[in-house]
């Protein structure tokens, strides 16, 4: 899937979870940093791709991207698995512990979860594509849904643009209108 679809997928997943759980009060800073972490999590698995947006936007990114590509075993490998999720999740945890003194009152637990939700949404979306995802590495089999490869999506082609993307938009529209009162409540009483 393209980075644009992954951004929308990550935000959609975060919205679904936030409105399902009984969210305790959250500071505005925590909310903003969580959304940011969520979007990073949504594209993080593609650091194994030399053409990933992360690398494209850095001056020498193309070369660093190629090195990462080798280290991580090529595209759709370690960072596209549960093992990779655990490793990246642990590294983000360490980073948040390190940044805690500067983050002040920010709830780093929420930020961590937002990242994980973003990354999970990436793996789920990529599962719908022809290449599939090696969820259970070191078992090298790439799983996809639907099981028949020809029914799956080709990244960047019209089905992604005109079917997957609009479906995600509709899910958001439905979900937010369905939970309208809850959103108002969160905005009034939970965001400090």
Kindly state the number of chain residues that form the binding site for Zn ion, as judged by CB under 5 A.
3
Question: Which helix H or strand E contains 17, and what residues bound it?
Answer: helix 3-20
Burial, 182: exposed, middle or buried (Cβ in 10 Å; 0-12, 13-18, 19+)?
Answer: middle
CB of 170 to Zn ion, least distance (A): 23
69 touches Zn ion (CB under 5 A): no
Scanning 83-91, 98-106, 120-128, 143-151 for contacts with Zn ion by CB under 5 A, the matching segment is 120-128
Task: Candidates 9-17, 59-67, 121-129, 184-192: pick the segment binding Zn ion (CB under 5 A).
Answer: 121-129
Query: By CB under 5 A, is residue 160 in contact with Zn ion?
Result: no
- Cβ 49 to Zn ion shortest distance, Å: 7
CA 110, CA 37: separation in Å to the nearest integer?
10
Structure tokens at 93: 């945890």
Q: Examine residue 7 and tell whether it contacts Zn ion (CB under 5 A).
A: no
Answer yes or no: are the C-beta atoms of 76 and 50 closer than 8 Å: no
The total number of residues written for the chain in this structure: 192
- Chain contacts with Zn ion (rule: CB under 5 A): 45-46, 126
């Amino acid at each position: 899937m393209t980075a644009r679809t992954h951004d929308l997928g990550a935000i959609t997943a975060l919205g679904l979870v936030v409105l399902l759980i009984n969210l305790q009060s959250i500071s505005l800073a925590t909310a903003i940093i969580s959304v940011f972490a969520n979007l990073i999590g949504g594209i993080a698995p593609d650091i194994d791709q030399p053409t990933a947006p992360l690398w494209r936007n850095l001056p020498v990114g193309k070369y660093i991207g190629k090195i990462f590509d080798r280290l991580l075993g090529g595209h759709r490998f370690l960072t596209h698995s549960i093992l990779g999720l655990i490793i990246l999740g642990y590294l983000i945890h360490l980073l948040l512990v390190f940044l805690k003194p500067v983050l002040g009152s920010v709830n780093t637990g929420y930020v961590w979860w937002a990242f994980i939700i973003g990354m999970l949404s990436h793996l789920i979306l990529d599962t719908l594509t022809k290449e599939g995802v090696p969820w259970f590495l070191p078992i090298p089999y790439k799983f996809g849904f639907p099981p028949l490869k020809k029914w799956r999506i080709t990244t960047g082609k019209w089905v992604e643009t005109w079917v997957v993307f609009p479906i995600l938009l509709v899910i958001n529209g439905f979900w937010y209108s369905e939970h309208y009162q809850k959103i108002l409540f969160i905005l009034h009483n939970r965001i400090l």
